[in-house]
Chain A
Amino acid sequence: MNLLLLFISAAIVNNFVLTYFLGICPFVGVSKRVSSAVSMGLAVMFVMTITAAVTWLIYHLLLVPYQIEILEYVSFILVIASLVQLVEMFIKKVSKPLYDTLGIFLPLITTNCAILGLALFSVLREYSFIESLVFGIGAGAGFTLALVIMAGIREELELSNIPKPFRGAGITMIVAGSLALAFMGFAGLISM
């Protein structure tokens, strides 16, 4: 039950993109088509989940016993960068069109603050291994959710008559802000 609440908390109430404003770059960059938004979301979710697991192991089995917690940033970034490379190779092998669609945003997952944020949060909140794994999946699901909602709205926007000054980046920012406002409605639903 606790884990389910944790999942919902990470995915919706404390959504990484819309509540913490982490990972805004791909949120705006890869949210033009729902299909590519889903793939981007899944790629981030994969990286997040594995990152959560591996960083937990590294932190609790290596950094804490040897009292070198100071190196958590370095080691976490190392994990994330390697994982992103792996995902990149995998996607390039499996689907070249998808690889081209994601473009620069795929290697940019490396520097996506949402992922480092996730690793640091789970250290800060002293999650157990299972908890941080669930936290990772939840955060990834939340990221995917935000991206897909945004992409859905932007697909509709393309067909609608937007006042000239708002076209392009302007309306995207307004939509992102409104979405964040909407997600604030969940605040206080679960306090974790």
Chain B
Amino acid sequence: MDINTLIIAIASMGGLGLLFSAGLSLAEKKFYVEEDPRIEKILNELPGANCGGCGYPGCAKFAEVVVAGEAEINGCPVSDDEARKAIGEILGVDVDSGEKQIARLMCQGGNYETAKKAEYAGIKSCLGASYFGGGEKMCEYACLGFGECVEACTFDAMYMSENGLPVILDDKCTGCGKCAEVCPQDIIEMHPESHKLFVFCKNLDGAKNARKVCIKACIACGICVRNVEEGEMEMKDNLAIVNYDIYGKEAKLPTDKCPTGCLAIIGKPIVDEPAEKVEA
């Protein structure tokens, strides 16, 4: 192949490309469709991660429906207060910006804390394990530990700890809710950032059974309920529940009253080292 062919090839293809692009740009002018300029502006305020947390196929579509008035301004769970205010300004409305939500894992039953009922050798997925006998842990409500939530997280806000439980990084969590969606056990919940006190357990078994399967299970002893004002907490189906509406936001309860340590304040683990390992 001589150099002439090369030059001709480059020139002809370049020429064709130029010709077509010129034609297209002319056509673009002729067929220009006026779009609401606010869509573009709102799109600039959105995170642009296209995570789908809002329920629409991407940030662009969300911007479109917000302008059309079909979606709430704070419908994007990822955007921060600032962005919501900016969007509100673009649309000329006040935003009641909902509080930032953070994913919380409602289980402390890692490999160490829970007893095992069997070795699970099926496909390494939470969903698979949930279909097939509910994984290897004795507690049927526990985290299955295959990290489907970590894989679902598009913001690198989660990782699997050595103990086999997902850890959520508060400062990176955007509250999109993807992890809660994929969890077959439904033990990841979305909570407002200010909620600090949680019952980190979903076990509905009675005291005897709960005790047997996990050292950090709620054994429904009711100590916590007796130690707070009426209505702030209650027992329901063998599980203590915090009524945040009445309880308020402050984590004021002395959590060391809880014998198993399932009631805890975020960031302040009360029971650091479990006394003994449970045997199945």
Contact = CB atoms under 8 A, between A and B. Distances in A.
Contact of B24 (A66, A68, A82, A93): A82
A93 B33 contact: yes
Contacts of A85: 24, 27
A71 B13 CA distance: 8
Interface string A66-94: 11100100110011001001100110110
Nearest to A83: B20
A58 B5 CA distance: 16
Nearest to B28: A89
B246 interface: no
Nearest to A93: B31
B48 interface: no
Nearest to A66: B8
B24 A71 contact: no
Contacts of B31: 89-90, 92-93
B152 to A, nearest CB: 24
Interface residues of A, number: 19
B24 A86 contact: yes
Interface string A9-41: 000000000000000000000000000000000
A130 interface: no
Contact of A58 (B16, B32, B33): B16
A78 B12 contact: no
Interface string B76-94: 0000000000000000000
Contacts of A75: 12-13, 16
Interface in A82-124: 82, 85-86, 89-90, 92-93, 96
B33 A79 contact: no
A62 interface: yes
Contacts, number: 45
Contact of A71 (B12, B20, B21, B32): B12
Given A78-B17, A86-B24, A89-B28, A68 B33 contact: no
Given A62-B12, A68-B9, A71-B9, A78 B20 contact: yes
Contacts of A68: 5, 8-9, 12
Nearest to A79: B20
Contacts of B13: 71, 74-75, 78
A67 B2 CA distance: 12
Contacts of B12: 62-63, 66, 68, 71, 75
Contacts of A63: 12
Nearest to B20: A82
Interface string B1-39: 000010011001100110011011001100111000000
Contacts of B33: 92-93, 96
Contacts of B20: 78-79, 82
A93 B33 CA distance: 6
A65 to B, nearest CB: 10
Nearest to A82: B20
Contacts of B23: 82, 86
A67 B27 contact: no
Nearest to B11: A66
A86 B27 contact: yes
A11 B5 CA distance: 38
Q: Which 8 A-B pairs have the closest CB atoms?
A: A82-B20, A89-B31, A93-B31, A66-B8, A68-B9, A86-B27, A92-B33, A85-B24
Given A66-B12, A82-B21, A82-B24, 14 more contacts: A63-B12, A68-B5, A68-B8, A68-B9, A71-B12, A71-B13, A75-B12, A78-B13, A78-B16, A78-B17, A86-B23, A86-B27, A89-B28, A93-B31
Interface of B: 5, 8-9, 12-13, 16-17, 20-21, 23-24, 27-28, 31-33
23 contacts: A58-B16, A62-B16, A66-B5, A66-B8, A66-B12, A68-B9, A71-B13, A74-B13, A75-B13, A78-B16, A78-B20, A82-B21, A82-B24, A85-B24, A85-B27, A86-B23, A86-B27, A89-B27, A89-B31, A90-B31, A92-B31, A92-B33, A93-B33
